[in-house]
């Protein structure tokens, strides 16, 4: 071939490659879909450069073949082979008896830092030809083009993931605001009865729940519950319990009946996959009685007449068995002021740097030290202590506090 013809041919090839790069860049800027980019990639390699056979593997949770051509009508099912992961630069395939080594001769790996993103396998259909194959002749350009295409596809994945994360975040924020609406807005705040609550979800939404419901001028039903697990699933079950309790109270104030019905609804909704611990109580300031059932919950701490006791009696966790055969309803009669701290296990499961948990003894000391304060400040000081206690550790679970002070027996 005359020298001038070779120069012209080289110029044509250079122009072809430059135009191809410009076309791909324009396609990326115009936000072509992944399938459109792959179609363009195939058209350039197969029709313009004459690469006879290709397979493109990309990683998206698992290795998948995004593109293949050059196999005729009986296209084989090309499977990714783990030996490819050992290849870190352009190389020939030599896997012995592997299927890929029978089909292809060259592999181009695409890495981000040390993480493999894709592998392009190349070969030519007419391997008996003496001249240099198109796959080898245009190898540097194919590598460049492959990198551009793969990076564009990866950016699309990241963009989609970011959109999905933003949507999930928005939905969680909405769920969080809706969950906050389920908690009582106005808690008693009179001379005779002071009530305050705090809730710290481990995630944006959680499975702890408290309520304080006024029945009449001297009777209240209140509870603190903890759904097993964390996150949205626990929050959904928690909201169902809240709705169920509100509904049940409209026709009965009997704690035993309420517990039995709540247990049925937990089993029906959770299908034995989640359980609920619940402390349910009724306060009658006229008869000076606190009636309660503890359904497998962390025992609330009662500070009465300078002594501490734990309210433990009741029944097993809700959602374990359909028949709650033994339910103990306990009645505490009081004649002087008392403080009651109800809490969920996220508080006492908190670990410090020495791997010790926040003990009941420590909580009792905190109640004793802060007993002259109102419940809001008691809760704040307990959580402040827990924050310092855990140091750099995270809280292990949701934390809910519900604190009552009955201080005037004549209100």
DSSP letters for 147-184 = HHHHHHHHHHHHHHHHHHHHHHHHHHHHHHHHHHHHS-
Residue owning tokens 């996959």: 273
Query: CA-CA distance, 398 to 199, in Å (whole number)?
Result: 8
What is the model's pLDDT at position 3? 60
Tokens of 169: 């975040």
What is the model's pLDDT at position 411? 47
Per-residue pLDDT tens, the chain, 411 aa: give them. Answer: 556 666 677 788 888 888 888 988 898 888 889 999 999 999 998 888 888 889 999 988 889 999 998 887 766 778 888 888 888 888 888 776 677 888 888 888 988 888 899 999 988 765 555 455 666 778 888 888 988 988 888 888 888 777 767 666 665 555 555 556 666 788 888 878 999 999 887 765 667 888 999 999 899 999 999 888 766 777 777 878 888 888 899 889 999 999 999 999 888 887 777 888 999 999 999 999 999 999 999 999 999 999 999 999 999 999 888 888 789 999 999 999 999 999 999 899 998 888 899 999 999 999 999 999 999 999 999 999 999 998 888 888 888 999 999 976 554
Query: CA-CA distance, 193 to 317, in Å (whole number)?
Result: 29
Query: CA-CA distance, 115 to 138, in Å (whole number)?
Result: 25
What is the model's pLDDT at position 130? 42
Task: Tell me 47's DSSP state.
Answer: I
What is the model's pLDDT at position 366? 95
Alpha helices in 311-401 (DSSP H): 345-348, 360-370, 375-390
Distances (CA, A) of 248 to 242, 245, 265, 396: 10, 5, 11, 32
Which of 401, 400, 395 has the alpha carbon at shortest distance from 202?
Answer: 395
Which of 82, 59, 23 has the alpha carbon at shortest distance from 154?
Answer: 59
What is the model's pLDDT at position 290? 96
What is the model's pLDDT at position 177? 57
Cα 348–Cα 407–Cα 304 angle in degrees, nearest 5? 50
Q: Using one digit for the tens of pLDDT, what is the confidence trace for 34-50? A: 999 999 999 998 888 88
Buried residues in 262-282 as b, exposed as e (16+ CB within 10 A): bbebbbeebeeebbbbbbbbb
Query: CA-CA distance, 173 to 264, in Å (whole number)?
Result: 31
Backbone angles phi, psi at 285, to 5 degrees: -75, -15
pTM value is 0.63
CATH number for region 3-161: 3.30.450.40
Strands 301-304 and 338-343: antiparallel
What is the model's pLDDT at position 113? 82
Homologous superfamily of domain range 183-406: PPM-type phosphatase domain (3.60.40.10)
What is the model's pLDDT at position 115? 87
Give the domain ranges of the chain: 3-161, 183-406
Q: In a 10 Å sphere around its CB, with 0-12 CB exposed, 13-18 middle and 19+ buried, how is residue 163 labelled? A: exposed
Specify the 3-state DSSP secondary structure of 358: coil
Strands 301-304 and 62-69: unpaired
End-to-end C-alpha distance for the chain, whole angstroms: 111
How far is C-alpha 334 from the chain's CA centre?
45
Q: Where are the beta strands (DSSP E) in 6-136?
A: 53-60, 62-69, 91-92, 106-112, 115-123
Per residue, the 3-state secondary structure of 303-355, as one string, reads EECCEEEECCCEECCECCCCCCCCCCCEEEECCCCEEEEEECHHHHCCECCCC
Which residues touch 190 (CB under 8 Å, ≥6 apart)?
411
Tokens of 358: 């926040």
């Amino acid at each position: 071939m005359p020298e001038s013809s070779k120069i012209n041919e080289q110029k044509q090839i250079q122009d072809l490659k430059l135009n191809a790069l410009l076309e791909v860049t324009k396609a990326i800027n115009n936000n072509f879909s992944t399938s459109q980019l792959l179609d363009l990639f195939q058209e350039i390699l197969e029709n313009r450069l004459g690469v006879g056979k290709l397979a493109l593997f990309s990683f998206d949770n698992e290795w998948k073949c995004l593109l293949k051509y050059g196999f005729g009508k009986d296209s084989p099912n090309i499977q990714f082979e783990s030996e490819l992961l050992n290849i870190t630069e352009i190389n020939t395939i030599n896997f012995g008896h592997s299927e890929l080594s029978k089909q292809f001769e060259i592999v181009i790996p695409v890495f981000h830092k040390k993480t493999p993103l894709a592998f392009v396998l190349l070969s030519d259909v007419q391997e008996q030809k003496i001249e240099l194959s198109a796959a080898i002749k245009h190898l540097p350009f194919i590598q460049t083009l492959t990198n551009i295409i793969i990076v564009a596809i990866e950016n699309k994945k990241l963009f989609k993931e970011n959109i999905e994360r933003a949507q999930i975040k928005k939905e969680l924020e909405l769920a969080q605001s809706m969950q906050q609406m389920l908690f009582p807005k106005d808690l008693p705040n009179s001379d005779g009865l002071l009530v305050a609550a705090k809730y710290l979800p481990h995630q944006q939404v959680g499975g702890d729940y408290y309520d304080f419901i006024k029945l009449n001028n001297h009777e209240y039903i209140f509870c603190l519950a903890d759904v097993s697990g964390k996150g949205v699933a626990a929050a959904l079950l928690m909201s169902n319990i809240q709705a169920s309790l509100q509904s049940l109270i409209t026709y009965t104030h009997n704690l035993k009946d309420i517990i039995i019905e709540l247990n049925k609804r937990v089993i029906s909704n959770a299908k034995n996959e989640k359980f609920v611990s619940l402390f349910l109580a009724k306060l009658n300031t006229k008869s000076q009685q606190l009636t309660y059932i503890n359904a497998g919950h962390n025992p609330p701490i009662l500070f009465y007449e300078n002594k501490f006791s734990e309210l433990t009696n009741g029944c097993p966790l809700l959602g374990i068995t359909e028949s709650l055969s033994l339910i103990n309803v306990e009645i505490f009669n009081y004649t002087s002021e008392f403080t009651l701290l109800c809490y969920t296990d996220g508080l006492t499961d908190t670990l410090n740097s020495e791997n010790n948990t926040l003990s009941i003894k420590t909580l009792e000391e905190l109640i004793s030290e802060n007993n002259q304060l109102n419940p809001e400040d008691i809760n704040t000081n307990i959580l402040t202590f827990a924050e310092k206690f855990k140091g750099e550790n995270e809280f292990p679970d949701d934390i809910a506090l519900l604190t009552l002070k009955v201080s005037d027996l004549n209100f």
